[in-house]
């Protein structure tokens, strides 16, 4: 099925003279790692941007999660509640910190952790909750924080998708105990690879700083190592790029929001296309992903794969997203967690082949469809093209057979 050509969407990542000059300056300074000023400058800017007092920049948004858990005192075998519909390392960071991920299903409207299902998963062994602000939509933080305070649990917000997103006027990362961010190439704020934690808790910030800097302590001697830690430091080159990229983030976020709201309105008029529901608590959505639910019943029973293929043929970069849930990965089913994990001793009964999260399974295997955020940086005409193409695919659904693949 061909309905005509559509324009290319904006490329990602973007850069200009500012990034080139910033990189050149770091090169010339000779201070490419410790000793330079870009990392510290970024940490200050980013902490303030997310409404926090402290930030520690690290090598990526996976080690930020792992190190945040260790900073919160996670002990071997302790349980951490995570959603299954997220990137792998939301859960495997727990295993890397010697803990046990416990999966709790997602909300069908937002695909974020379902706060109503958290309490039944809490045991005396639970230490923390990691809500993911999926696609940039803040999770139900009031409910999550209430449960966490009641059960004395830490909350680490996985905000890898949610730079600048706000829940009831407050920036994500400032709502729980620690916020974790990724600056990997695909992210709304990026520098190739990178990450940062933010927090308002000085002790947690100092713990993270120590863990990311070989167990050193602030104002300690270079060869004075007081804790277990590694080298998870960001380079000055990466921070120099971030210091430029962050200047553009507000304007880009605004554009993504406008286009996403327009798509919500138009796409929801097409039978079988159900955009995720933006909750009233969300005062700013970062739209790292634009997600809608595909209902094959309205498309002559045609599978999501065939539907997406029809969109891709028209050069609409739609994908099935997290099609393979974490608890179904061979790693989890075979418990290939390495010899460093103490979980087997403390949790002999935990068997991920018995985990069932029906909403997440439906999202992953049947209905979840994603556009990457750079699609939302296109023009209104681009959005109209997307709507036209999906409408046309709907109108021609009888011709859309699996055999077309």
Ligand X SMILES: Cc1ncc(COP(=O)(O)O)c(C=O)c1O
For binding to ligand X (CB under 6 A), which residues are involved?
60-62, 86-87, 89-90, 132, 158, 160-161, 182, 184, 195
Minimum CB separation of residue 335 from ligand X in Å reads 21
Of 152, 124, 75, 69, the C-alpha closest to 343 is: 75
The four Cα atoms 159, 164, 167, 173 give a dihedral, to 10 degrees, of 40
Minimum CB separation of residue 160 from ligand X in Å reads 3
CA distance 396 to 311: 12
Minimum CB separation of residue 339 from ligand X in Å reads 23
Minimum CB separation of residue 201 from ligand X in Å reads 21
Written as six digits, the tokens of 56 are 């520690």
Angle formed at CA 368 by CA 367 and CA 373, multiple of 5 degrees: 155
CA distance 161 to 276: 15
- Nearest to ligand X of 76, 88 (CB atom): 88
- Nearest to ligand X of 90, 306 (CB atom): 90
Per-residue HEC secondary structure of 57-123 comes to EECCCCHHHHHHHHHCCCCCCCEEEECCCCCHHHHHHHHHCCCEEEECCECCCCCCECHHHCHHHCC
- Nearest to ligand X of 195, 272 (CB atom): 195
Minimum CB separation of residue 195 from ligand X in Å reads 5
- Nearest to ligand X of 70, 387 (CB atom): 70
- Nearest to ligand X of 161, 373 (CB atom): 161
- Nearest to ligand X of 182, 259 (CB atom): 182
Q: Which residue is nearest to ligand X (CB)?
A: 61
Minimum CB separation of residue 307 from ligand X in Å reads 24
CA distance 132 to 86: 7
């Amino acid at each position: 099925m061909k309905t005509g050509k559509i324009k290319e969407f904006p490329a990602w990542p973007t850069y200009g003279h500012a990034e080139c000059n910033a990189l050149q300056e770091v090169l010339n300074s000779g201070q490419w790692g410790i000793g330079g000023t870009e990392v510290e400058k970024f940490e200050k800017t980013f902490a303030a941007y997310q409404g926090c007092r402290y930030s520690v920049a690290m090598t990526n948004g996976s080690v930020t999660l792992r190190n945040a858990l260790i900073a919160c005192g996670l002990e071997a075998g302790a349980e951490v509640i995570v959603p299954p519909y997220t990137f792998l390392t939301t859960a495997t960071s727990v295993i890397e910190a010697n803990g046990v991920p416990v999966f709790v299903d997602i909300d069908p409207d937002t695909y974020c952790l379902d706060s109503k299902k958290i309490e039944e998963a809490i045991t005396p062994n639970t230490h923390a909750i990691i809500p993911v602000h999926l696609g940039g939509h803040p999770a139900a933080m009031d409910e999550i924080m209430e449960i966490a305070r009641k059960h004395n649990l830490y909350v680490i917000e996985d905000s890898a998708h949610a730079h600048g997103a706000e829940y009831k006027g407050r920036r994500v990362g400032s709502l729980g105990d620690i916020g974790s961010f990724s600056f990997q190439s695909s992210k709304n704020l990026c520098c190739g690879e990178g990450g940062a934690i933010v927090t308002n808790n000085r002790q947690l910030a100092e713990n993270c700083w120590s863990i990311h800097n070989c167990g050193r302590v602030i104002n300690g001697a270079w060869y004075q190592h007081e804790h277990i830690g590694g080298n998870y430091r960001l380079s000055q080159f990466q921070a120099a790029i971030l210091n430029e990229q962050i200047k553009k983030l507000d304007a880009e976020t605004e554009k993504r929001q406008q286009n996403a709201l327009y798509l919500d309105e138009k796409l929801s008029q097409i039978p079988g296309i159900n955009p995720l529901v933006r909750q009233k608590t969300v005062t700013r959505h970062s739209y790292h992903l634009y997600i809608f639910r595909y209902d094959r019943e309205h498309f002559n029973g045609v599978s999501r794969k065939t539907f997406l293929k029809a969109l891709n043929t028209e050069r609409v970069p739609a994908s099935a997203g997290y099609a393979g849930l974490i608890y179904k990965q061979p790693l989890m089913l075979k418990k290939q967690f390495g010899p460093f994990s103490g979980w087997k001793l403390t949790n002999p009964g935990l068997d991920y082949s018995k985990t069932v999260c029906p909403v997440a399974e439906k999202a992953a295997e049947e209905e979840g469809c994603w556009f990457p955020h750079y699609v939302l940086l296109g023009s209104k005409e681009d959005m109209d093209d997307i709507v036209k193409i999906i409408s046309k695919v709907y109108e021609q659904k009888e011709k859309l057979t699996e055999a077309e693949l």
